[in-house]
């Protein structure tokens, strides 16, 4: 599990000072990239090997609003890994009081950037990712 932190910026809010719901997907992406970097897999390294991982499915369950300037902690778990896809789950909490604000999930497939076809990861990327697979505790 990796915890990424971000503060809700003013431009990410609506007229009520509440973070717009679309930002949660950006924060999930930021947390996912940080998670991979932490285990030694960078997007640049994968792209240099002609591998990208587009989103195949994404979901978010909103529990409470995030407000302007809240510090958010995004717990990120890699919960499923195959050579052709990965599934992450997220739990977003407000740092000040630990309130659960949202949970989510993303499913990515690995594909060749040049051909657009699904590819299977070789051990260079697969093994560190497989070693990081962990079940997310219940909310």
Tokens linked to 10: 């003013």
Q: Is 14 among the residues known to form the active site?
A: yes
> DSSP secondary-structure letter at 128?
H
**Neighbouring residues of 100: CB distance < 8 A, sequence distance ≥ 6:** 63, 64, 91, 92, 93, 139
CA distance 78 to 105: 10
Indicate which residue of 14, 50, 69, 122 is catalytic: 14
Catalytic residue annotation: 14
């Amino acid at each position: 599990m990796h915890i990424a932190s971000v503060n809700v910026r003013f431009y990410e809010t609506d007229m009520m000072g509440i973070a717009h719901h679309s930002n949660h997907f950006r924060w999930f992406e930021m947390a996912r990239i940080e998670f991979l970097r932490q285990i030694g897999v960078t997007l640049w390294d994968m792209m240099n090997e002609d591998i990208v991982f587009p989103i195949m499915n994404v979901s978010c369950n909103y529990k409470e609003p995030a407000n302007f300037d809240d510090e958010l902690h995004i717990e990120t778990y890699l919960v499923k890994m195959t050579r052709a896809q990965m599934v992450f789950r997220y739990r977003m909490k407000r740092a000040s009081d630990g309130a659960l604000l949202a949970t989510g999930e993303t499913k990515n497939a690995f594909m060749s950037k040049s051909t657009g076809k699904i590819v299977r990861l070789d051990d260079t990327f697969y093994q560190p990712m497989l070693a990081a697979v962990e079940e997310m505790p219940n909310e």
